[in-house]
Amino acid sequence: MVRWEAVIGLEVHARLLTRSKLFCACETAFGAAPNSKVCPVCLGYPGALPVPNRTAIDLAIRVALATGCTIHAESVFARKNYFYPDLPKGYQISQFDKPLATGGSLEIATRDGAREIGIIRIHVEEDAGKLIHDATGGATDDTSLVDLNRAGTPLIEIVSAPDLRSSEEAIAYLTRLRQIVMYCDACDGNMEEGSLRCDANVSVRRPGGELGTRTEVKNLNSFRFLGRAVDFEIERQIALLERGERVVQETRLFDPAEGVTRAMRSKEEAHDYRYFPEPDLPPLVIDVESISRIREGLPEMPGPRAARYRRDFALNVEDSETLVTSRELADYFERTIAAGASARAAANWVKNEVLGSCNQCKVELRDFRVTAEMLGETISMVESSEISGKAAKEVFEAMATNGGSPREIVERLGLAQLSDRDAIRAIARRVIAANAAQVEQFRSGRTGIFGFLVGQVMKESQGRANPEIANQILRECLDTEAR
Amino acid sequence: MSDTGPVGARSAASISRDVRRGTLALRTLGGDVIDAVEKRNDELRAFVHFDAGEARAACDASHAEGALAGVPIAVKDNIATRGTLTTCASRILSSYRSPNDATVIERLAAAGAWVAGKTNLDEFAMGSSTEHSAFGPTSNPWDPTRVPGGSSGGSAAAVAAGLVPVALGSDTGGSVRQPAAFCGVTGLKPTWGRVSRSGLVAFASSLDQIGIFARSARDCARVLGVIAGHDPRDATTSIEPVPDYESALEGGIAGLSVGIVEGTWETLDDEMRVCFERSLTILRDLGVTVTHVALPSLGLSIAVYYIIANAEASANLARFDGIRYGRRAEGDHTLREGYVRSRTEGFGDEVKRRIMLGTFALSSGYYDEYYGRAQHARAMITAELRAAFGGVDLIAMPTTPTVAFRKGEKLADPLSMYLSDVYTAPANLAGIPAISVPAALSSEGLPIGLQLLGPHFAEPLLLRAAAAFESSLGVPVMVPPR
Ligand SMILES: [Zn+2]
């Protein structure tokens, strides 16, 4: 009997992968010298005006289409007003009551099967700069420094419906959303560098009852932090309510060192942003043609792709999800099949050997020496009994280290499988002749000794004999060739 | 216009013609302008930044080709000029030098014009008298005890005094047309989006438009042809092609219909009313049909204008925080103290008043009642004007309810100062073009303007009507007594 139910919604900011900022031509380079990627527009100089970067808008539309949102023919930029040194104009150009897109969803796998999670809205906005408070960055005890390289870089904010019920679901949602923005080439998904940032709205209620008061938890820059912060917040709120106290609507910061959330000082959050339409920008008009052009350019998204793997390749949920983690991996998997491997074998090889090897050697899949074509050929050689599974692993290791074509390696290392029945029969006869005692035992009923004799055949063939054929022929010889 | 006398008193058209022909040397011309400004500026304070060396260098760097070859231009000090001061007549920007030129300055330079100096204004263009300037008020060349109007009072005075043939101002609620009327010159506010605002320090972005002062419709047309047109640096500029405004001046206005709006002039004092009626007679004599049009929401304009303009200003002026440029309060302080002190010391009272009013109008709980309703009323006014232009070609109104008032007269009463914009604000709210042309002199010898408003992008028609009206008054139109 569940006494409390958590209600969670996520607000995710994704930095768009454009070369220039949202409203000026400055580069969006990460890690450049402080204040080296700035101009009068992103510094908020008097008289400088914003001009929208169409590429950023197109990327935002990609994500909106990929999550099934409705793209509005006309959306409106708005000014969000507040004073802070990382905000050069004293307002952030964002979207407010007329966002780019609304009403989408994505599907996550939960313990009780797949669930649709609503997406309320997606809007485009500019990022703020960065304040540097630590001495390594040049700040002192009583001064902070401002770096405005990031100011004006394009973001989208993706707001989910309060449809999530646990930290696992929140993580599953963020995982899928991260995959989607990456599939769209809209965002690099890097949470450590802040390319993808997440805030969580959390409340608890009696199952099926009225919504409780929510808190907003900020500073969740990893999946682990999201999980821990949400769990902490749920527990905290339940404890409050069970003590007969009330949850205060507030913004809280997650402290990863302590694993707790803490209320921000009320001053820090007591903002009246005074949104109003940005008069320096005309309404953002998006025509039907560009929407369909962008839609046509979208790749298959991870959800449908995983479902297709389950349907067409009979893969289970775990394997299909692993394979769609990134578009690159899923493409690799499909190219492996195209190169001749069966889906089942390709799936096993990709998720075990390929991912394992990449991890071990710390290389990205795109830099991995074994291409999908090489792997596909290797697997197909196993499947046509040209080499053994064991030999295939050797071929794979060799390719991962030095590259080369699988056939060459098989040849060079003499790994081709022996399937010639006469040759194997000759070996079997030699083994029978050389192991009279064991043959005698077998014939007197100790059939368990058969394995030993097969082993001898394999040994004699230097491991190259096709084990199935070796088995069959040895049995034939033992049964029919009485001495 | 006379081809003799000080260069600045001649027309831009004749100066550029002579410069192109080689009969007027840039060097002579520059010296002449510098002499005239140096002689008059102490008394007028039309220019707030005038440096003979800089002016000479700018003149020398101009070229003898182009529609404005050699033409000296005075520029309101809220329009960015590279390397020289752009202060908006504010303490907070008192030493600010812009890293680049406004688009209009680039275009003027490409057409051969040069910037003579930067002119006075009400701080951040907020005012109607040029008294709210950190550098002190400008005098009206017709009567130095009177204001030149505002906020572009310095530019209007510079042109009226014959220091330069043309000047740039900015018009948010009448800041070009009202001083043009007070100083007896022609003032054009183009359609919003016709001229790039890139480099114009924003007061109220949805209303701001760079405008032109000149002593003739022809010079207005010449300058507009140079500065108008789409600008990739201003997303709100129109891609509408730029017509040949000068050739549009020809042909007269016989057969045109001009609307007048009931309730806009009948209650004026006798002199202003009679002058307006006489202007209508002149228009009729030119072959125009005058008819009545209904604009029932026009009376809301001032209230709507001050809510929207101040709301936008409260955001536009947030960037002046003393952190990246401009004046920063001295000494150590916390972030918050830094904001408060830099802005308290840097802004004048009128600017602070407007920032507070605008912030209030956008605040949670008041937004719907103020900003929201104002936006709604703005849409109504715009729709009514559009409907009116379905029936008439142009609308005529007085430019101002009074002649130039005395310095200090309205300083203590902001509300009566705000009412100076009663006839001019509607064009900004609707984004339509409007022009003020000199119409008469009052019994005290002060200029009175006639305002014509047209539909979006009707500048050719407005300029033609202004030219026709001007020629019926005789040339030169108005020269202040010396
Ligand atoms: Zn920039």
Please answer whether residues B149 and B141 qualify as being in contact, where contact means their C-beta atoms are separated by less than 8 angstroms.
no
Written in H, E and C, the secondary structure of B411-428 is CCCHHHHHHHHCCCHHHH
Task: Give pLDDT, residue A266.
Answer: 61
Q: Which amino acid is at B290?
A: V
pLDDT digits (tens, 9 = 90+) for B417-457: 888 889 999 999 999 999 999 999 999 999 999 999 999 99
Question: What is the CB neighbour count within 10 angstroms for residue A328?
Answer: 14
All residue ranges of chain A with pLDDT < 70 are 1, 266-270, 481-483
Please answer whether residues B250 and B471 qualify as being in contact, where contact means their C-beta atoms are separated by less than 8 angstroms.
no
pLDDT digits (tens, 9 = 90+) for A39-88: 999 999 999 999 999 999 999 999 999 999 999 999 999 999 999 999 99
Our CA angle for B191, B177, B186, nearest 5°, is 95
Q: How confident is residue B479, by pLDDT bands cut at 50, 70 and 90?
A: confident
Please answer whether residues B322 and B342 qualify as being in contact, where contact means their C-beta atoms are separated by less than 8 angstroms.
yes
Q: Which one is catalytic: B16, B90, B155, B175?
A: B175
> For residue A255, what are the contacts with CB-CB under 8 A and spacing of at least 6?
A261, A262
Contact B319/A at CB under 8 A:
yes
Task: Give pLDDT, residue B5.
Answer: 67
Please answer whether residues A439 and A425 qualify as being in contact, where contact means their C-beta atoms are separated by less than 8 angstroms.
no
Which member of B98, B197, B318 has the closest CB to residue A89?
A: B318
Specify the residue for token string 């956008």. B362
Contact B94/A at CB under 8 A:
no
The DSSP symbol for B85 reads B
Q: A411-420, A465-474, B329-338, B354-363 — which is least confidently predicted? A: A411-420
Q: How far is A89 from chain B, CA to nearest CA, in Å?
A: 4
SS3 A272: coil
Q: Do B88 and A52 touch (CB under 8 A)?
A: no
Q: How confident is residue B223, by pLDDT bands cut at 50, 70 and 90?
A: very high
Task: Give pLDDT, residue B480.
Answer: 83
pLDDT digits (tens, 9 = 90+) for B35-81: 999 999 999 999 999 999 999 999 999 988 999 999 999 999 999 99
Q: Do A45 and B233 touch (CB under 8 A)?
A: no
How many Å lie between the centroid of ligand 1 and the Cα of residue A153? 9
SS3 A93: strand
B151 is catalytic: yes
CA dihedral A343, A347, A350, A352 (to 10 degrees): -150
Using CA of residue A178, residue A183, residue A186, residue A189, what is the dihedral sign? positive
How many Å lie between the centroid of ligand 1 and the Cα of residue A45? 10
Domains of chain A (ranges; CATH) run 5-292 (no CATH), 300-412 (no CATH), 421-480 (1.10.10.410)
The whole-angstrom separation of Cα B212 and Cα B175 is 11
Contact B240/A at CB under 8 A:
no
Query: And the tokens for A330?
Result: 């899923």
Which member of A49, A91, A276 has the closest CB to residue B318?
A: A91
Alpha helices in B317-372, H assignment, sequence order: 335-346, 349-362
| Mean pLDDT of all residues in B367-396 | 97
pLDDT digits (tens, 9 = 90+) for B268-318: 889 999 999 999 999 999 999 999 999 999 999 999 999 999 999 999 999
The pairing of beta strand B166-171 with beta strand B72-76: parallel
- Of all residues in chain B, the percent with pLDDT exceeding 90 is 89
CA dihedral A214, A215, A217, A218 (to 10 degrees): 110
- Spell out which residues of chain B touch residue A268, defining contact as CB-CB under 8 Å: none
The answer to whether the bond into B151 is cis (omega within 30° of 0) is: yes
SS3 B199: coil
Burial class (CB in 10 A: 0-12, 13-18, 19+), B244: exposed
For residue B314, the chain A residue with the least C-alpha distance is A81
Where is B270: in which H helix or E strand?
helix B270-285
Q: Which one is catalytic: B151, B198, B297, B342?
A: B151
Task: Give pLDDT, residue A386.
Answer: 85
- Of all residues in chain A, the percent with pLDDT exceeding 90 is 75
SS3 A321: helix
Q: Do B335 and A89 touch (CB under 8 A)?
A: no
The DSSP symbol for A127 reads -
Using CA of residue A345, residue A346, residue A349, residue A351, what is the dihedral sign? negative
DSSP secondary structure string for all residues of B124-139: GG--SSS-S-TT-PPP
How many Å lie between the centroid of ligand 1 and the Cα of residue A40? 6
- How many Cα atoms occupy the beta-carbon half-sphere of B50 within 13 Å? 29
B175 is catalytic: yes
Specify the residue for token string 């309320």. A120
Q: Which one is catalytic: B14, B62, B76, B420?
A: B76
Which member of A47, A90, A272 has the closest CB to residue B200?
A: A47
Our CA angle for A44, A49, A53, nearest 5°, is 105
Using CA of residue B347, residue B352, residue B358, residue B364, what is the dihedral sign? positive
Strand order of the β-sheet with B394-398 is B47-49, B114-119, B72-76, B166-171, B209-214, B186-189, B434-441, B447-453, B394-398, B257-261, B289-293
Specify the residue for token string 């060799």. A398
Q: How far is A203 from chain B, CA to nearest CA, in Å?
A: 25
The whole-angstrom separation of Cα B133 and Cα B144 is 16
Q: Do B362 and A276 touch (CB under 8 A)?
A: yes
Task: Give pLDDT, residue B2.
Answer: 44
Contact B311/A at CB under 8 A:
yes
Provide the mean pLDDT of chain B: 95
Question: What is the CB neighbour count within 10 angstroms for residue A228?
Answer: 18
How many Å lie between the centroid of ligand 1 and the Cα of residue B321? 19
Task: Give pLDDT, residue B4.
Answer: 55
Domains of chain B (ranges; CATH) run 7-255+391-473 (3.90.1300.10), 299-376 (no CATH)
- The shares of helix, strand and coil residues in chain B, as percent rounded to the nearest 5, are 40, 15, 45
The DSSP symbol for A247 reads P
